[in-house]
């Protein structure tokens, strides 16, 4: 009895919180091989299976403490159920040895030699001391069981165990993975690292290959430095190991069958990557240094922002590489890459992410600083945005421009800590140990392949020069640069190491560097795996979409009967599908609309536009906040079974061989999500890709994407994009935040026919607008001021005939046939929802001498069409532009010159007047009473000319 209570006490102390991980690991080791754990534990674990069935319904590897707690509750651990045993001093120490090993897995990275410059001495890590675990030097020769350590032995003297742990976890590789809750993943990493002690024995050929890649990395920078001294190139010097890293990552992914890799990276090291990895012709790069332009049209971009595509050969076959174009805004390229990858995966029906791999290369400062990094991680396992795991690489040169103090740069230990939020394993590695770099690259590639989750390589290196080549770094980092100046290059250090080990002679090394330089000088390709005659089937042919004229008119009509049938089909739920009451009513109404018994509303027309495009072979993808139902309850593209919660997407079930229809409610991000959809749309030309903001002003959070990609990408980089942004907009008294989609911002960005800006006012208009966007081969981003109250407005309706036979109208003239054009003295020009307010006002005031004209497309501004619409008003005296936005917002400032130009042609004396809210700092009034007062005032001004 006394023994039993001792055992209970012993168990309780070992089951306490601090030992949980150790116990879990011990239990897992026991499950794998009962003989791998100490006798005492085996006898305890042997008692557990009787309750296993109760506790392991979800996971067979339920943490052992749970078993214990449950056992405490249900089976009550009693002394009698435990075999009595004597705890010897050796057994006690055995437990401590396990605790020590666990501590290495947790904390080894804190002692690892990660910094090539060794600038900051690493702080002592008490958990890694023998003393901390109650062990001493005197125990070093004692033999202990190695239990779940993967060191190739069942038992070994403590000194051997400690040596193995030090080599594995405290050498040039520091691994953080114990934050991963999935046991299989943790065990996998332990096994991979411990079995080779983080230092595989690479063959002579493999070592020579690594050296050649380093020679290329260094040779390239030296060459550019001597040929173009002082020219900005954001060189890789100090981080040359990136090149063997990327080479290995590509080859390894190729060996697994990947067919495409999309890479995003900032400017540092980009030119080196372009030439040495993607195989850009050095001669072309040199011409760019000399100022030559390679774009047929557009305004171009600096060379270290340029993207590139090529095919390389791997052991798994030919692989297409695409380096994404990127702006100076750090980190924003990452979600664009994810979108591009997802589009390629969707195209290849690669739902697991086996065939297309995303690789994101980051700088340390930006990775720690930029919020979009978090947003991109948040996407990684979602239905809408997952890509089967991304390999992240940090070029950690320990300084961001001139900022290197940790307490300025971040509040976390490592710049990579954000990655823990998705439980990504993080492999810190010393960039001056290229073999360790290649090892962690293999680990990362294999981990992604195995678990389809994000993984991070933190390449700890340095920056040999300033932020750019003209910058003097010693101004702000004097001590760091004293060290750097004395520090041998990675290539030099590796040469020395290989020479010392007898793998290569100095003559061999000289040959390697001479060959590389000769190839560069002759302008030859220097990426050996480059495929000179690439297989074009690996990527999409954009030729049909290039150089398309911007023509507004496009035939988007279709057969009325077929349209009617389709409308009925997509609005008929299966009998066994109980719908929610209000949704059922909406769907029933849609059937009536299809049969001509009700006028058509917005939701009907919009969903039907998608259905027709799918029938015509265009994939459709819609994401955004609450898009399935629609923020304002109009879309209902996803039906929810009221009995079992299952969902049905009618548009995804039109026919077995239809193109994809994807609709996903997004997580609450705008920046990363919009960037993702931009990436998707620039990779899938035949698809209609739609992003909808919950309220239009939410797109404020994605301004970088709008400025740097959507409105300028074609002109900077020649990349076409047909993305649609639906931005709910309209002044309905909801206050400053939810009224305006900031139309003025988009219009201010319009130039050179870069985007289209539309404010459709009828269901037929939205129908034809969406169809035109996909059916024309023109690929231009489309920014839509989409409605809120108009979704249910009694007058904002259309007929089936207008859908079947109509087309998108850039300008809608006066539609009331009772208004005689010759009696019209005033025309009110407007755009968007205010049209219906003006209409009401005109009816109320019986102002039949006023015509109301809607400019539905604000950019490209339809001057010719407006002229045609105004021409019949022969007695026109007054023209007013009426908008609901304040004067400094909306379309007034950006569009008045277009209208004035037209008016000048219509009548010499016509002047354009403004009727709208006064200029305002805030987008809209916060009080309904003030909103209505302002509305009344400007409607009077517009219709009656009373201020």
- Closest to ligand AMP by CB, 100 vs 675, is 675
For the bound state, the minimum distance from the C-beta of residue 318 to ligand AMP, rounded and expressed in Å, comes to 13
Question: Does 281 help bind ligand AMP (rule: CB under 6 A)?
Answer: no
Concatenating the DSSP letter of every residue in 157-198 gives EHHHHHHHHHHHHSSSEEEE-TT---HHHHHHHHHHHHHHTT
Name the CA radius of gyration of the chain, rounded.
33
Q: Tell me how far CA of residue 709 lies from CA of 67, 714, 781, in angstroms.
A: 53, 8, 10
Q: Considering only CA atoms, which of 305, 231, 318 is closest in space to residue 267?
A: 305
- Closest to ligand AMP by CB, 105 vs 320, is 320
For the bound state, the minimum distance from the C-beta of residue 258 to ligand AMP, rounded and expressed in Å, comes to 14
Instruction: Report residue 784: phi and psi, to 5°.
Output: -115, 125
Q: Considering only CA atoms, which of 549, 439, 515, 488 is closest in space to residue 193?
A: 439
- Closest to ligand AMP by CB, 678 vs 808, is 678
- Closest to ligand AMP by CB, 362 vs 719, is 719
For the bound state, the minimum distance from the C-beta of residue 305 to ligand AMP, rounded and expressed in Å, comes to 15
Place of tokens 């086996």: 354
For the bound state, the minimum distance from the C-beta of residue 550 to ligand AMP, rounded and expressed in Å, comes to 16
Q: Strand 173-176 relative to strand 426-430: parallel, antiparallel, unpaired?
A: antiparallel
CB atoms within 10 A of CB 383: 10
Query: How many residues of this chain bind ligand AMP (CB under 6 A)?
Result: 8
> What is the separation, in whole angstroms, between the first and last Cα of the chain?
98
Site string for ligand AMP, 492-531 (x = CB under 6 A): ----------------------------------------
Residues whose CB is less than 8 angstroms from the CB of residue 583 and which lie 6 or more positions away in sequence, other chains included: 636, 639, 640
Place of tokens 């090149």: 243
- Closest to ligand AMP by CB, 296 vs 500, is 296
What are 932's two structure tokens? 């209505």
H/E run at residue 359: strand 356-363
For the bound state, the minimum distance from the C-beta of residue 213 to ligand AMP, rounded and expressed in Å, comes to 23
- Closest to ligand AMP by CB, 322 vs 866, is 322
Question: Does 109 help bind ligand AMP (rule: CB under 6 A)?
Answer: no
Site string for ligand AMP, 60-79 (x = CB under 6 A): --------------------
Instruction: Report residue 922: phi and psi, to 5°.
Output: -100, 150
- Closest to ligand AMP by CB, 473 vs 722, is 722
Q: Alpha-carbon dihedral of residues 39, 44, 47, 49, nearest 10 degrees?
A: -90
- Closest to ligand AMP by CB, 542 vs 893, is 542
Name which of residues 717 to 746 contact ligand AMP (CB under 6 A). Answer: 719-721
Cis before 860? omega within 30: yes
Question: Does 539 help bind ligand AMP (rule: CB under 6 A)?
Answer: yes
For the bound state, the minimum distance from the C-beta of residue 288 to ligand AMP, rounded and expressed in Å, comes to 17
CB of 242 closer than 8 Å to CB of 459? yes
Distance CA 812, CA 797 (A): 14
H/E run at residue 274: helix 270-276
- Closest to ligand AMP by CB, 335 vs 886, is 335
CB atoms within 10 A of CB 689: 28
- Closest to ligand AMP by CB, 455 vs 720, is 720
Concatenating the DSSP letter of every residue in 413-447 gives SSTTGGGGGGT--EEEEETT-HHHHHHHHHHHHHH
Of positions 281, 309, 580, 896, contacts ligand AMP by CB under 6 A: 309
CB atoms within 10 A of CB 87: 13
Distance CA 289, CA 231 (A): 8
Residues whose CB is less than 8 angstroms from the CB of residue 485 and which lie 6 or more positions away in sequence, other chains included: none
Give the three-state DSSP class for 619: coil
Residues whose CB is less than 8 angstroms from the CB of residue 224 and which lie 6 or more positions away in sequence, other chains included: 231, 233, 235, 271, 289
- Closest to ligand AMP by CB, 225 vs 534, is 534
- Closest to ligand AMP by CB, 463 vs 719, is 719
Of positions 168, 172, 449, 682, contacts ligand AMP by CB under 6 A: 682
- Closest to ligand AMP by CB, 175 vs 721, is 721
For the bound state, the minimum distance from the C-beta of residue 683 to ligand AMP, rounded and expressed in Å, comes to 6
- Closest to ligand AMP by CB, 322 vs 586, is 322
Site string for ligand AMP, 641-680 (x = CB under 6 A): ----------------------------------------
For the bound state, the minimum distance from the C-beta of residue 875 to ligand AMP, rounded and expressed in Å, comes to 49
Residues whose CB is less than 8 angstroms from the CB of residue 125 and which lie 6 or more positions away in sequence, other chains included: 107, 110, 111
For the bound state, the minimum distance from the C-beta of residue 720 to ligand AMP, rounded and expressed in Å, comes to 4
CB of 595 closer than 8 Å to CB of 560? no
- Closest to ligand AMP by CB, 543 vs 576, is 543
For the bound state, the minimum distance from the C-beta of residue 613 to ligand AMP, rounded and expressed in Å, comes to 19
- Closest to ligand AMP by CB, 202 vs 542, is 542
For the bound state, the minimum distance from the C-beta of residue 682 to ligand AMP, rounded and expressed in Å, comes to 4
Of positions 132, 202, 228, 542, contacts ligand AMP by CB under 6 A: 542
Concatenating the DSSP letter of every residue in 491-538 gives HHHHHHHHHHTTS--HHHHHHHHHHHHHHHHTT----TTB-SS--GGG
For the bound state, the minimum distance from the C-beta of residue 321 to ligand AMP, rounded and expressed in Å, comes to 7
- Contacts of 228-232 with C-beta under 8 Å, sequence gap 24+, read 228/289, 229/469, 230/469, 230/470, 231/289, 231/469, 232/302, 232/304, 232/468, 232/469, 232/470
- Closest to ligand AMP by CB, 149 vs 263, is 263
What are 750's two structure tokens? 């319009």
Of positions 236, 274, 322, 394, contacts ligand AMP by CB under 6 A: 322
Q: Tell me how far CA of residue 270 lies from CA of 304, 308, 325, 517, in angstroms.
A: 6, 10, 11, 19
For the bound state, the minimum distance from the C-beta of residue 168 to ligand AMP, rounded and expressed in Å, comes to 39
CB atoms within 10 A of CB 34: 12
Name which of residues 683 to 722 contact ligand AMP (CB under 6 A). Answer: 719-721
- Closest to ligand AMP by CB, 677 vs 802, is 677
For the bound state, the minimum distance from the C-beta of residue 541 to ligand AMP, rounded and expressed in Å, comes to 7
What are 215's two structure tokens? 């020679």
- Report the residue number whose CB is nearest to ligand AMP: 309
Site string for ligand AMP, 558-597 (x = CB under 6 A): ----------------------------------------
Q: Considering only CA atoms, which of 789, 771, 792 is closest in space to residue 600?
A: 792
For the bound state, the minimum distance from the C-beta of residue 779 to ligand AMP, rounded and expressed in Å, comes to 7
For the bound state, the minimum distance from the C-beta of residue 322 to ligand AMP, rounded and expressed in Å, comes to 3
Name which of residues 168 to 187 contact ligand AMP (CB under 6 A). Answer: none
For the bound state, the minimum distance from the C-beta of residue 621 to ligand AMP, rounded and expressed in Å, comes to 15
Name which of residues 217 to 276 contact ligand AMP (CB under 6 A). Answer: none
Q: Strand 647-648 relative to strand 639-640: parallel, antiparallel, unpaired?
A: antiparallel
Distance CA 313, CA 318 (A): 5
For the bound state, the minimum distance from the C-beta of residue 395 to ligand AMP, rounded and expressed in Å, comes to 22
DSSP state of 489: P
Q: Which residues bind ligand AMP (CB under 6 A)?
A: 309, 322, 539, 542, 682, 719-721
């Amino acid at each position: 009895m006394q023994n039993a209570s001792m055992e209970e006490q012993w168990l309780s102390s070992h089951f306490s919180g601090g030992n949980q991980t150790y116990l879990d690991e011990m239990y897992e080791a026991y499950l794998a091989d009962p003989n791998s754990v100490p006798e005492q534990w085996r006898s305890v674990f042997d008692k557990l299976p009787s309750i296993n069935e109760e506790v392991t319904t979800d996971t067979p590897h339920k943490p052992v403490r749970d078993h214990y707690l449950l056992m405490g509750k249900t089976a009550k651990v009693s002394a009698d159920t435990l075999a009595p045993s004597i705890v010897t001093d050796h057994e006690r120490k055995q437990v401590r040895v396990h605790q020590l090993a666990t501590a290495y897995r947790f904390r080894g990275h804190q002692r690892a030699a990660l910094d090539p410059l060794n600038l900051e001495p690493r702080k002592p890590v008490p958990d890694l001391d023998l003393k901390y675990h109650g062990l001493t030097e005197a125990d070093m020769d004692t033999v202990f069981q190695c239990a779940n350590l993967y060191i190739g032995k069942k038992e070994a003297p403590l000194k051997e165990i400690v040596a193995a742990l030090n080599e594995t976890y405290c050498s040039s590789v520091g691994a953080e993975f114990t934050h991963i809750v999935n046991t299989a993943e943790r065990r996998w990493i332990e096994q991979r690292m411990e079995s080779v002690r983080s230092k595989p024995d690479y063959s002579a050929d493999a070592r020579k290959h690594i050296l050649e890649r380093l020679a290329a990395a260094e040779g390239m920078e030296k060459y550019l430095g001597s040929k173009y001294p002082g020219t900005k190139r954001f060189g890789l010097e100090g981080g040359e190991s990136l090149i063997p890293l990327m080479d290995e990552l590509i080859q390894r992914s190729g060996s697994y069958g990947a067919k495409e890799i999309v890479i995003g990276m900032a400017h540092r090291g980009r030119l080196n990557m372009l030439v040495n990895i993607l195989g850009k012709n050095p001669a072309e790069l040199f011409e760019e240094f000399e100022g030559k332009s390679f774009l047929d049209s557009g305004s171009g971009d600096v060379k270290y922002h340029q993207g590139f595509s090529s095919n390389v050969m791997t052991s798994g076959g030919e692989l297409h590489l695409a380096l994404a174009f990127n702006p100076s805004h750090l980190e924003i390229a990452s979600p664009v890459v994810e979108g591009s990858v997802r589009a390629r995966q969707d195209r290849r029906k690669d739902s697991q992410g086996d065939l297309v791999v995303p690789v994101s290369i980051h700088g340390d400062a930006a990775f720690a600083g930029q919020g979009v990094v978090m947003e991109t991680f948040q996407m990684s396992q979602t239905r809408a945005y997952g890509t089967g795991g991304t390999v992240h690489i940090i070029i950690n040169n320990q300084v961001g421009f001139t900022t290197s103090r940790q307490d300025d740069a971040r509040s976390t230990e490592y710049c990579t800590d954000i990655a823990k939020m998705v439980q990504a394993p993080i492999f810190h590695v010393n960039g001056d140990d290229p073999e360790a770099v290649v090892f962690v690259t293999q680990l990362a590639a294999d981990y992604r392949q195995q678990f389809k989750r994000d993984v991070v390589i933190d390449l700890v290196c340095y920056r040999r020069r300033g932020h750019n080549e003209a910058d003097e770094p010693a101004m702000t980092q004097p001590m760091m640069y004293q060290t750097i100046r004395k520090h041998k290059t990675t290539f030099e250090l590796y040469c020395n190491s290989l020479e010392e080990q007898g793998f290569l002679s100095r003559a061999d090394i000289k040959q390697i560097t001479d060959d590389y330089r000769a190839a560069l000088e002759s302008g030859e390709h220097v990426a050996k795996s480059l495929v000179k005659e690439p297989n074009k089937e690996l990527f999409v042919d954009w030729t049909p979409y290039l150089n398309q004229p911007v023509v507004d008119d496009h035939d988007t009509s279709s057969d009325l009967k077929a349209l009617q049938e389709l409308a009925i089909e997509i609005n008929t739920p299966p009998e066994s599908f109980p719908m929610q009451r209000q949704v059922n009513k909406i769907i029933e109404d849609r059937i009536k609309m299809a049969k001509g018994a009700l006028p058509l509303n917005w939701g009907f027309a919009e969903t039907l536009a998608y259905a027709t495009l799918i029938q015509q072979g265009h994939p459709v993808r819609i994401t955004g906040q609450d898009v399935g139902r629609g923020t304002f309850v109009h879309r209902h593209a996803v039906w929810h079974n009221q009995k079992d919660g299952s969902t049905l997407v009618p548009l995804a079930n039109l026919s077995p061989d239809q193109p994809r229809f994807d609709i996903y409610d997004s997580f609450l991000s705008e920046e990363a999500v919009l960037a993702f959809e931009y990436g998707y749309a620039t990779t899938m030309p035949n698809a209609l890709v739609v992003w909808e903001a919950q309220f239009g002003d939410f797109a404020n959070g994605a301004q970088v994407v709008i400025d740097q990609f959507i409105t300028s990408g074609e002109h900077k980089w020649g990349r076409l994009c047909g993305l649609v942004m639906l931005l709910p907009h309209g002044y309905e008294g909801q206050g400053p935040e939810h009224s305006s989609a900031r139309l003025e911002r988009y219009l201010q960005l319009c130039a050179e026919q870069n985007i289209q800006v539309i404010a459709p006012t009828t269901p037929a208009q939205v129908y034809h607008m969406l169809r035109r966007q996909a059916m024309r081969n023109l690929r231009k981003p489309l920014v839509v001021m989409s409605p809120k109250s108009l979704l249910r407005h009694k007058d904002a309706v259309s007929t089936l005939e207008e859908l079947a036979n109509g087309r998108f109208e850039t300008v809608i003239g006066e539609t009331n046939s009772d208004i005689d054009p010759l009696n019209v003295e005033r025309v009110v020009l407007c755009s968007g929802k205010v049209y219906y307010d003006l209409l009401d006002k005109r009816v109320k005031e019986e102002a039949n001498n006023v015509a109301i004209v809607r400019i539905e497309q604000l950019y490209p501004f339809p001057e010719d069409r407006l002229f045609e619409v105004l021409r019949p008003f022969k007695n026109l005296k007054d023209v007013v532009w009426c908008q609901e936005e304040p004067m400094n917002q909306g379309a007034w400032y950006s569009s008045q010159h277009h209208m004035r130009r037209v008016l000048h042609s219509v009548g010499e004396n016509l002047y354009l007047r403004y009727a709208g809210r006064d200029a305002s700092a805030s987008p809209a009034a916060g009080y309904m009473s003030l909103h209505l007062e302002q509305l009344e005032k400007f409607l009077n001004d517009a219709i009656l000319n009373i201020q």
